[in-house]
Structure 1
């Protein structure tokens, strides 16, 4: 007995195209790219050697145990970023490679402004794991949005828990930073619309990314294994960075409480977020020094605290981050 013929609509349905990972680099290109992070590290060290030398000299008399605690908070920052990255994606990622990619992303983040380095490394990693481009870009957008939104309840908790230890007005950007923040809020969406209108080939990928993002957000928030690390990591991330500042300030015997030191970081990072600098270096440093001084900390100690914070969050993880990036390139994970 012969089987019945297939329905026309069934026969005409095309098979779903398999998702292919990003094309691996050639051996020569992979070798060159694996050396590039180390060259960037060497150039960074040559360019900023004076600040590094001054920071090490001033931190020589600090409490080493509190500095070690600050280094521990720095390591936890990469784990929190890995949790957010996994929570923003329905696909299951290998935990070890994911954490290593965030160390590499942290190193790249200090080279390009506004987190572009970290997002570029993460995007390449996700594509090498076979994640479709639309879903990978949607997860990066969700990562950025959740980190920005999650800081609000953290600030509110500080305001309610220690209303006399914090200064809410410190959260508002001042002067040029305020103008840049307003300009960014107004010009950013307008620039995106103009780019899509002027470059038609970008419209379809952009719409696909938006549709994928909306679909994935609904799916992720029905799975506790995704939305718990997504939001938990996003809430923990600013607290971890604040813990680094508080640890360095305590190591230097800064005359401020932990609540004041932590809120000083939250205020400074909020005010400096409108200025697109590599890793926040520059605007965040200046805002943090001014905020600590506004709480009554001596200016030399406030400056040393910021140097110590930079030593732990930039210089300390930069070498393992660049090594992780080179190793992942060699293993074709990037």
Structure 2
């Protein structure tokens, strides 16, 4: 498969026609506004939220400017650890041996891609591209994404249940749970999608092929203890490490909540906000602010904590991640 960097050369010049006998390229100038809108949508949503909550945002930024640097440095160290854990999960999801250094670099670069697409699609696209360049067939590369997502969601659910059973703070989550009628459309959409994939013939064949490939690779992966440990151990550790970044940021700002409450708030808000397909994690951030406030944190401090968390996990690594992504594309690693 050709590199992404070769795409511009495959496009005709502006105002010119494609050469005779060659199909018109899929990517055209008409798609540029859509790609630009996808890239700018997280920034636009954040700007709108900031304008409507200006005083709260300014107070949060002011508190962040006086945070304890030691705790912020610890949060930065845990942020670096999240890329290592993500690379472990990716390796555990495929039977093939992947180069550790390049795999880690691809996960660092994938963080930059996640700002343009919701639900982790940017990171998944970068990972599929990386696996394809390593000789993994497209069907197996896609199946690894499914296995990765199942392991990540399953392990996070188990961790959340454990915290719910071991903490008394779960009682305060009741006011954040949506009304049952809100969940009905979600259940209906998921059910219709499954029925459509099973009934429509053009969709049935690729879906069944993907499921068959995913089950086959899952058996191979779980027959190797090192792969199974990387997959499930990493999937269990990832939400804890990410919540640790939030807890360190809260300590730096004087959030006033225990680490157990912060971890539970992160897991609950991530589960609720992750169901909303908005790029850049904006829905998760909003849910996280209100969850921390429901646990007893002042709203301004909770806002500052979430801002600091996003600065450490997203905005500081964004430029280096984009540079690594560009370098890997130029080197034809992606």
Q: TM-score range by the shorter chain?
A: 0.7 to 0.9
1:144 maps onto 2:145 in alignment: no
Count of paired positions:
304
Change in Cα spacing, 1:257 to 1:46, as seen in structure 2 (3 Å) is: closer
Aligned residues of 1:88 and 1:230 also touching (Cα < 8 A): yes
1:74 to 79, 82, 94: 79
- The residue that corresponds to 2:186 in the other structure is 184
Structure 2 partner of 1:127: 132
Q: What is the Cα deviation at residue 25 of structure 1?
A: 4.5
CA contact (8 A) 1:245 1:305 kept: yes
CA distance, structure 2, for counterparts of residue 62 and residue 105 of structure 1: 29
Does 1:296 pair with 2:275? no
Q: Deviations over 1:236-283 (max 9, x none)?
A: 1110111011001000011111111111111111121211111422x2
- Determine whether 1:29 maps to 2:8: yes
Separation in structure 2 between the aligned mates of residue 287 and residue 45 of structure 1, nearest angstrom? 16
The offset of 1:59, in angstroms, is 1.3
Compute the RMSD of aligned alpha carbons: 3.0
| Equivalent residue, structure 1, for 2:265 | 264
Change (3 A) 1:49 1:72: farther
Determine the structure 2 residue equivalent to 1:306: 306
How far off its partner does 1:148 sit?
Answer: 0.6
Q: In the aligned structure 1, how far is the partner of 2:321 from the partner of 2:164?
A: 35
Structure 2: how far apart are the matches of 1:172 and 1:208?
A: 42
SS in 2 for 1:303: helix
Measure the CA separation in 1 of the matches of 2:134 and 2:41.
30
Give the 3-state SS of the residue equivalent to 1:321 in structure 2: helix
Native 8 Å contact 1:171 1:268 kept in 2: no
Identify the residue that residue 329 of structure 2 maps to in structure 1: 329
Q: Which runs of 5+ in 1 are unaligned?
A: 1-21
In the alignment, structure 1 residue 175 sits paired with structure 2 residue 189: no
**2:203 equivalent to 1:206:** no
Is 1:219 paired with 2:220?
A: yes
Relative to structure 1, is the Cα distance of residues 202 and 103 closer, same or farther in structure 2, using a 3 angstrom cutoff?
A: same
TM-score normalised by structure 2 residue count: 0.81
